Homo-oligomer: A and B are copies of this chain.
Amino acid sequence: MNSASPSTALLTDHYELTMLQAALRAGTARRRSVFELFPRRLPEGRRYGVVAGVGRALDALERFRFDDEVLEALRDVVDRPTLDWLASYRFSGDIWGYAEGETYFPYSPLLTVEAPFAEAVLLETVLLSIYNHDSAIASAASRMTSAAGDRPCIEMGSRRTHEEAAVAAARAAYVGGFATSSNLAARQRYGVPTAGTSAHSFTLLHDSEEQAFRAQVDSLGKGTTLLVDTYDIAEAVRLGVEVAGPSLGAVRLDSGDLGALAHQVRAQLDSLGATGTRIIVTSDLDEFAIASLAAAPVDGYGVGTELVTGSGHPTCGFVYKLVAREDDTGAMVSVAKKSQDKISIGGRKYALRRRDRHGVAEAEVIGIGTPPVDDGDDRSLLVPLVRRGAVVGRELLDDARARHERSRAELPIAAQQMSRGEPVIDTQHVGA
């Protein structure tokens, strides 16, 4: 991210600014504060969640600045002293968090932000937006890639979500184990591998399916994927192998009973000698449809709508709560609201993944104060992301992807069940 990138400071709720104004005037804006970003629960029926968006949040933090254009937009939102304070805004605090790709459970302290109230409160909206969206996508993606086993999942949902959310979704899906994406901006910005061949419109553009297939193979090579369901599938498969030869890369099925069709097409391809030609299926797939195709001769799954909408859970419901702050003597005190149905737990947390001696996760251990001495099986979950305002937690996206694979593999086997159930490990609150 270079400094010419647009500011993220207005991707914010109005009330963060009015709170700032009131706190500045009251003299409480500088109180050292600890905010925590956490889920109260997993989406109903889900066994685990996946943290994503960490790298994007760090980018957004670096671009969170109140330049002239931003200040101009805030002229009628806050008063002059507040605008003056904002003009020199720079986050000076510390942030710890779960690393990207890590699995999470109810009350996992995904981010801990420690800074003067004024600096930390302003980050609430943009941090929640990024974490709530990206983690929802990665959580769905992980279930899909788990269901797909060794077969690659291809992200192709850009058209079914906001055009910028699509880029983030492609990135989060990659963290969750997807092999490739259709989204070219995700390729450019994050290095997500992309792939693409053709749509029905390409076939319809041409005077015949044969003309279309020849045009595609001429340009993209025999290794391309031909879309075979525009007219008659059996005829298209025959034609595809005739045009490309038995080394045709793949055929794609985008409608109908995918399981039954895959068997028919596989038999036909084999009979034509195209034993290496793969079968890619697409068409409103979700993790359940993927699982149901496990016995079908399918070589890859293209997933769109259900991936980018979080497969029924498009947001994670993470919240960002003040859990501790300086009092008027300068001491830090834990705070929590008492609203009847929205509990938060005061104090700055540690978090450990407790594992049995076989390395299988047993519990999410969350406590206040000093963590217990590691007996060798516990794994500490918080890593430094920002120190004194400087980003220190940046990493390669492939490292997040590899971490997710390890973290998921460590969970009890029930995490792989598609059926609805409880979180696969319990959250244990220690001390306090």
Contacts and interface: CB of A to CB of B under 8 A. Distances in A.
Interface in A166-213: 166-168, 182-185, 187-188, 194-207, 211
A95 B24 CA distance: 51
Contacts of A314: 161, 309, 314
Contacts of A168: 162
A377 interface: no
Best-surrounded residue of A28, A60, A167, A204 (most CB of chain B within 10 A): A204
Nearest to A133: B162
Contacts of A200: 321-322, 337, 339
A17 B188 CA distance: 14
B21 A219 contact: yes
A78 B130 CA distance: 32
Given A15-B197, A230-B337, A74 B22 contact: no
Each complex incorporates copies of this chain amounting to 2
A349 B293 CA distance: 38
A368 interface: no
A112 interface: no
Interface string A1-42: 000000010111111111101111110100101010000000
Interface stretch (A152-160, A265-273, A359-367): A152-160
A106 B89 CA distance: 50
A410 interface: no
Interface string A321-344: 110010110000001111111100
A121 interface: yes
A339 to B, nearest CB: 4
Interface size range on A against B: 35 or more
B196 A315 contact: no
A158 B128 CA distance: 9
B207 A327 contact: yes
B128 A199 contact: no
Given A15-B197, A33-B205, A305-B315, A159 B22 contact: no
Contact of A187 (B73, B159, B182, B206): B73
A214 to B, nearest CB: 8
Nearest to A168: B162
Given A215-B25, A219-B22, A162 B160 contact: no
Contacts of A19: 198-199, 201-202
A12 B194 CA distance: 11
A155 to B, nearest CB: 10
A262 to B, nearest CB: 15
Contacts of A428: none
A419 interface: no
A164 interface: yes
Interface in A114-138: 117, 121, 124-126, 128-130, 132-134
B25 A219 contact: yes
A230 B163 contact: no
A315 B184 contact: no
Given A185-B11, A315-B309, A207 B328 contact: yes
Nearest to A342: B255
Interface of A: 8, 10-19, 21-26, 28, 31, 33, 35, 60, 73-74, 77, 79, 117, 121, 124-126, 128-130, 132-134, 156, 158-168, 182-185, 187-188, 194-207, 211, 214-216, 218-220, 229-232, 254-256, 283, 305, 308-309, 314-315, 317, 320-322, 325, 327-328, 335-342
12 contacts: A11-B163, A15-B198, A15-B199, A26-B211, A73-B184, A73-B188, A117-B205, A132-B160, A160-B317, A201-B321, A230-B337, A305-B315
